[in-house]
A = this chain, B = another copy of it.
Amino acid sequence: MMKPVPQKEIQHRLKQLSEACKKSGMRMTHQRMEIFREVASTAEHPNADTIFHRVRERLPSVSHDTVYRTLASLEELGLVSRVDPVKGGARYDANCDKHHHYICTQCGSITDIYMQNEPSLPEGIENLGDVESLHLQVRGICHNCKTN
């Protein structure tokens, strides 16, 4: 269905995690590693509960709140980003390339999209404040939902 993340990319991301932990004084725990691996291994933008259940298969003692706390730290490190879909809880993404999202309003699937031309900043935005980031969501009904 969705293109899997290549092994090489997963390894690269895990290496970044290890470096980021070292640099920031965070500890590289088994849980943190497995939770990040789970997000880094898929492009489907799982939510916290999905991540919890998948990690649990390998690490049966992991708890729900550790997943939330870990995702929050990973977000602070800039290793995962949170996507707020139209409905339902937050979804997570370890793709650090500049990209945007296509969200199916029917099934809720989230797909990374890349722009040829990044949207320009609206004129006068500097009157409002700093610009840290720019997020574009394209919403619609995906082909999969259309045909089913």
Contact = CB atoms under 8 A, between A and B. Distances in A.
- Copies of this chain, count: 2
A144 to B, nearest CB: 8
A120 interface: yes
A129 B104 contact: yes
A115 interface: yes
A130 interface: yes
Interface in A60-88: 82, 84-86
Contacts of A146: 129-130
Given A136-B135, A137-B135, A142 B128 contact: yes
Given A115-B122, A122-B100, A122-B114, A134 B129 contact: no
A140 to B, nearest CB: 4
B140 A129 contact: yes
